[in-house]
């Protein structure tokens, strides 16, 4: 389908305004102007930039990651952090305790001995009640000197860096932000530390010394989510932008357990003429989630939504492109865990230039994927159908 060079913005903005008036949210995310955003379309480029940024740090490096492995990538990561700490940079790392359960304690003990300030997130304890055991810090974020931030879905591990065996490699992406939005990420990092540690982070004021160097054209809204919120900000951001779409929706999610609200939003978009394309995994590191995701295929395909499955790698990217101009990208999946039980961070990026880069990259992934048809889906066996129904009963917990 040939797209016009510039999609009409007026229709999308009018729909967005009507939706926000109807929802009447108590607060709206701040849109930070004049940011420069750079896309890293694979893990190799992302890690090359991350390690160079850590080496260039002069004041502080703030990091928050779900998984950090003790492999080649994790070893380089530890070396860069230690080197930064040795030259006087304040290095602070928040890591998810459960996400890093397979990483030996000696890895983090060595980092601490090298001068890195550590905070394991949500060590199992009854202090917060039984329900808190299932909470995860799923964010992936690095902030350098308060002026540069790197985000996305990439964890610190070989399978994300393209260094593992080919059948175990993850298809993911990341991006960087320079500009006014970085200060909100610094504030969010401090809030997470305070929430988990119950005391303020011992770090002085951290501001970009030369903000004029980073001026760009992208507007950015940051959407942080967590189980401490009464309503899921992450899900609401997806819903609002799906409802605001006028021409095209491209959605990539490795773990697809969207729930009825997202399903209804996608079907409504398709009924009003939006071309909706989903890129989902053909194989997954969490097979039960893939099984649940496929249970939605029949409804979506009957509603005119196109579904593709990526086969060459394990899909791990999380991105939604709205009308070629607005991109939702970050750590959150289209699943109940990201909506309600994980701490997540997504960026909503208003930039036609960045949107064009995303679309060019995704078109290559769609072209390399297998399109699922209703006929294909209906051919699945009785055993598969039964398993889908059984696993769907527990979808909220996956």
pLDDT by residue (tens digit) across 267-297?
Answer: 999 999 999 999 999 999 888 888 888 889 9
User: Same domain for 227 and 167?
Assistant: no
Report how far residue 240's alpha carbon sits from residue 24's, in angstroms, rounded to the nearest whole number. Answer: 12
Q: Catalytic residue, from 208, 316, 340, 365: name it.
A: 316
- CA dihedral over 137, 141, 144, 149, signed as positive or negative: negative
pLDDT by residue (tens digit) across 353-373?
Answer: 999 999 999 999 999 999 999
User: Same domain for 60 and 146?
Assistant: yes
Work out the pLDDT band at 26, boundaries 50, 70, 90: very low
Average pLDDT, the chain: 90
Tell me, yes or no, whether 271 lies in a domain: yes
User: Same domain for 226 and 342?
Assistant: yes
Please give the average per-residue pLDDT across 220-242, as a whole number.
91
* Catalytic residue list contains 376: no
Tell me, yes or no, whether 167 lies in a domain: yes
- DSSP string spanning 291-314? HHHHTTHHHHHHTT-EEEEE-SSE
- pLDDT score recorded for residue 130: 65
User: Same domain for 266 and 376?
Assistant: yes
pLDDT at residue 209 is higher than 70? no
Q: For residue 220, give both structure tokens.
A: 């950015």
Nearest to 141 by CA among 101, 108, 188, 202: 188
pTM, rounded to two decimals: 0.90
- pLDDT score recorded for residue 24: 46
pLDDT at residue 186 is higher than 80? yes
Q: Catalytic residue, from 42, 96, 137, 145: name it.
A: 145
Overall domain count for the chain: 2
Q: Catalytic residue, from 96, 137, 172, 318: name it.
A: 318
Helix (H) / strand (E) containing 239: helix 233-244
- pLDDT score recorded for residue 2: 47
Residue that wins the pLDDT comparison between 134 and 334: 334
pLDDT at residue 190 is higher than 50? yes
Q: Among 214, 233, 265, which residue terminates a domain?
A: 214
CATH, residue 16: 3.30.870.10
- pLDDT score recorded for residue 338: 95
Tell me, yes or no, whether 27 lies in a domain: no
- pLDDT score recorded for residue 20: 55
Tell me, yes or no, whether 33 lies in a domain: no
pLDDT at residue 213 is higher than 80? no
User: Same domain for 195 and 87?
Assistant: yes
User: Same domain for 197 and 324?
Assistant: no
Residue range(s) defining the domain that contains residue 150: 42-172+180-214
pLDDT by residue (tens digit) across 86-114?
Answer: 999 999 999 999 999 999 999 999 999 99
pLDDT by residue (tens digit) across 61-95?
Answer: 999 999 999 999 999 999 999 999 999 999 999 99
User: Same domain for 194 and 342?
Assistant: no
Nearest to 248 by CA among 219, 220, 280, 273: 273
Tell me, yes or no, whether 164 lies in a domain: yes
Report how far residue 233's alpha carbon sits from residue 152's, in angstroms, rounded to the nearest whole number. Answer: 17
Q: Catalytic residue, from 135, 137, 140, 172: name it.
A: 140
User: Same domain for 101 and 88?
Assistant: yes
* Catalytic residue list contains 134: no
Tell me, yes or no, whether 292 lies in a domain: yes
pLDDT by residue (tens digit) across 289-344?
Answer: 888 888 899 999 999 999 999 998 999 999 999 999 999 999 999 999 999 999 99
User: Same domain for 55 and 91?
Assistant: yes
- Residue given tokens 């679309």 in the structure block: 359
Tell me, yes or no, whether 127 lies in a domain: yes
- DSSP string spanning 45-106? HHHHHHHHHHHH-SSEEEEEES-B-SSHHHHHHHHHHHHHHHTT-EEEEEEETTTTTTS-HH
- pLDDT score recorded for residue 10: 62
User: Same domain for 204 and 231?
Assistant: no
- pLDDT score recorded for residue 76: 98
- pLDDT score recorded for residue 154: 98
- pLDDT score recorded for residue 361: 97
- pLDDT score recorded for residue 1: 46
* Catalytic residue list contains 318: yes
Q: Catalytic residue, from 42, 138, 350, 365: name it.
A: 138
- pLDDT score recorded for residue 28: 60
Q: How far is CA 21 from CA 24, 29, 129, 246, in A?
A: 5, 15, 37, 18
- pLDDT score recorded for residue 385: 74
User: Same domain for 135 and 186?
Assistant: yes
Considering the chain, what percentage of its residues have pLDDT values greater than 70? 88
* Catalytic residue list contains 135: no
């Amino acid at each position: 389908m040939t797209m016009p060079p510039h999609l009409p913005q007026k229709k999308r903005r009018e729909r967005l305004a009507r939706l926000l008036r109807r929802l009447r949210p108590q607060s709206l995310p701040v849109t930070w102007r004049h940011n420069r955003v750079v896309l890293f379309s694979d893990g190799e480029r992302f890690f090359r930039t991350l390690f160079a940024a850590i080496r260039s740090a002069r004041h502080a490096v703030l990091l928050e990651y779900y998984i950090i492995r003790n492999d080649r990538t994790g070893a380089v990561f530890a070396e860069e952090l230690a080197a930064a700490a040795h030259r006087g940079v304040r290095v602070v790392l928040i890591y998810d305790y459960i996400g890093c359960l397979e990483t030996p304690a000696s890895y983090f003990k060595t980092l601490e001995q090298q001068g890195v300030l550590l905070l394991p997130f949500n060590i199992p304890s009854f202090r917060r009640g039984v329900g808190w055991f299932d909470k995860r810090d799923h964010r992936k974020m690095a902030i350098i000197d308060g002026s540069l931030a790197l985000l996305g879905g990439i964890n610190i591990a070989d399978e994300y860096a393209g260094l593992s065996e080919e059948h175990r490699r993850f298809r993911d992406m990341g991006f960087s932000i320079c500009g006014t939005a970085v200060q909100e990420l610094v504030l969010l990092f401090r809030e997470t530390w305070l929430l988990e540690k119950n005391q303020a982070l011992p770090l002085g004021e951290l501001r970009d010394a030369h903000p004029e160097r980073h001026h760009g054209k992208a507007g950015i809204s940051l959407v942080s989510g967590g189980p401490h919120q009464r309503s899921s900000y992450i899900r609401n951001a997806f819903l609002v932008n799906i409802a605001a779409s006028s021409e095209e929706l491209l959605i990539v999610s490795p773990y697809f357990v969207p729930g009825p609200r997202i399903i209804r939003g996608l079907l409504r978009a398709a009924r009003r003429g939006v071309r909706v394309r989903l890129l989902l995994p053909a194989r997954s590191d969490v097979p039960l989630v893939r099984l649940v995701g496929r249970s939605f295929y029949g409804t979506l395909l009957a509603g005119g939504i196109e579904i593709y499955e990526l086969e060459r790698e394990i899909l791990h990217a999380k991105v939604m492109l709205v009308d070629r101009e607005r991109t939702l990208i970050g750590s959150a999946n289209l699943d109940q865990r990201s909506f309600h039980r994980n701490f997540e961070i997504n960026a909503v990026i208003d930039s036609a230039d960045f949107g064009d880069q995303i679309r060019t990259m995704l078109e290559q992934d769609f072209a390399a994927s297998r399109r699922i048809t209703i006929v294909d889906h209906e051919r699945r066996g009785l055993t598969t159908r039964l398993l889908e129904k059984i696993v769907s009963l527990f979808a909220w917990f996956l």
